[in-house]
Amino acid sequence: MMRFRIAALAFASVALMPLSGQAAVDTGTLIKKGEYVARASDCMACHTGNDGTPYAGGYAISSPMGAIFATNISPSKSYGIGNWTETQFADAVRKGVSPNGHLYPAMPYTAYAGMSDADIHALYVYMMQGVKAVDRAPKIKTSLPFPFNQRLLMAGWNLMFAGGEPMDAAKTQPGGSQRGEYLVKVLEHCSTCHTPRNAMMAEQNSRFLTGADLGGWHAPNITSDPISGIGGWSREDLINYLRNGSAHGKSQAAGAMAEAVEHSLRFLDDADLAAIADYLKTVPAVRDPSQTEAGFATTNAKPVDIATFDKPIDRSPDAMRNGTSTNGQELYAGACASCHQLKGEGTQDQFYPSLTANTATGGVISENLVMAILHGIHRATNHDVVAMPAFADELNDAQIASVANYVFSNFGNAKLSVTEQQVTTLRNGTGHRPLLVTMAPVASIAGIIFVILIVVGSLFAFTRRKRA
């Protein structure tokens, strides 16, 4: 009997070894899958610290209400999400409600509401076991003006504009029939930037992916329209743009899109990039009625004769100190031509892109060219780092307007132009303010007065009753 027990225990030990090994493999597989979900969801772009520390928080997200600073979402138990249960984590990601209170929709939970249960689970395992804890809080916390600092108000906003159900994992997994839709609508949350918002800062679903202003930049129309959208792009154009941030003869990624390429899209596998491209080709076409040809259709440059640039240089101290020129041609020659060439054709390999056949210069929107001149461009790809210097500290607003207008008139849409005041507005980040923001102070004062009147009226009624 003793020998039988020993043999049984030995057999049990051997039998359990593969199960333990399998559990370890499953956890490792989950962590790897969760990392891919995190990349596809672009978590790094917002939650990476200013010093490059993953998930440490501190990144400033521009909004009409003010800057919203991303929080620490590392598994730190003191400063991050290390104490959250999976249910609490899912509620924060999908519903915008964390153990610490309501989140602002700068966290795209309205899109993540569709995240499948399988992806939520994998993401949670990765965040808790695959990410290094960062035991410090971001140096700056979100501090919006009243009434936007009252996070409980988000409960009402969520009732009106949030919600949604998880998508079917069987259809949204790699190779699934809805994979492209899932990537565009949920994980990559493209509509967060590319769909215009209403007066209450909620997405206008009836104008899905038709383009929107975002922190001075304009996220373009990416519906299937061949003029205003990406209908004139080939499948390979789209895949190259998503992977590298550049589609030769079409467009280059800048601003938030450059960040999406750097932190998210370049890490997706070929099948997922193709799925995104294929789905975008099915999005109903919406055209801007003011646009009659695609932005990249302007291909005939009209550069000034090169002889006009070849002028004697005045090297006197007074001339060298003069940085006030607002001659667009001179400014272009001095600041832009070394990369984009005098005729605007860029370099042969298009590392420095052509300014013709370019949606930034040939479309109907002027903001993106001005923002690129002001703030530059930076994006890392799988092969190199693309960088254009920022000229915000080198050129004043009148000079930036002049060089932008020179580019428009000589290489792009000659009907476009910008004023010094428009440049000032973009530099200061004081663009279009939605009704929610402009009316908030008045509504707040009215609300306070209303509450005071109720309190005073109640006290008056109570006093009268007491006297009676």
Q: What is the CA radius of gyration of the chain?
A: 27
* First-last CA distance in the chain: 94
248 annotated among ligand-binding-site residues: no
Structure tokens at 348: 């042969």
User: Who contacts 251 (Cβ-Cβ below 8 Å, separation ≥6)?
Assistant: 220, 241, 295, 296, 358, 359, 360
Q: Is the peptide bond preceding residue 147 cis, with omega within 30 degrees of 0?
A: yes
Q: Based on the number of CB atoms within 10 Å of its own CB, is 137 exposed (0-12), middle (13-18) or buried (19 or more)?
A: middle
Q: How far is CA 424 from CA 367, 384, 399, 428, in A?
A: 12, 33, 11, 6
336 annotated among ligand-binding-site residues: yes
Of 132, 141, 92, 136, nearest to 115 by C-alpha is 92
**Do 93 and 108 touch, CB atoms closer than 8 A?**
no
378 annotated among ligand-binding-site residues: no
47 annotated among ligand-binding-site residues: yes
263 annotated among ligand-binding-site residues: no
Residues in the chain: 468
The C-alpha atoms of residue 33 and residue 108 are separated, in whole angstroms, by 21
The C-alpha atoms of residue 181 and residue 275 are separated, in whole angstroms, by 8
The C-alpha atoms of residue 402 and residue 324 are separated, in whole angstroms, by 12
Buried b (16+ CB within 10 A) or exposed e, 389-420: ebbbeebbbebbbbbbbbbbebbbbeebebee
383 annotated among ligand-binding-site residues: no
User: Who contacts 176 (Cβ-Cβ below 8 Å, separation ≥6)?
Assistant: 170, 182
Q: Tokens 């209303």: give the residue.
A: 450
Written as one letter, the residue type at 67 is A
43 annotated among ligand-binding-site residues: yes
Q: Tokens 């400033």: give the residue.
A: 60
**DSSP annotation of 40:** H
The C-alpha atoms of residue 311 and residue 445 are separated, in whole angstroms, by 62
The C-alpha atoms of residue 27 and residue 132 are separated, in whole angstroms, by 16
Binding positions are 43, 46-47, 190, 193-194, 336, 339-340
Binding positions for heme c are 43, 46-47, 190, 193-194, 336, 339-340
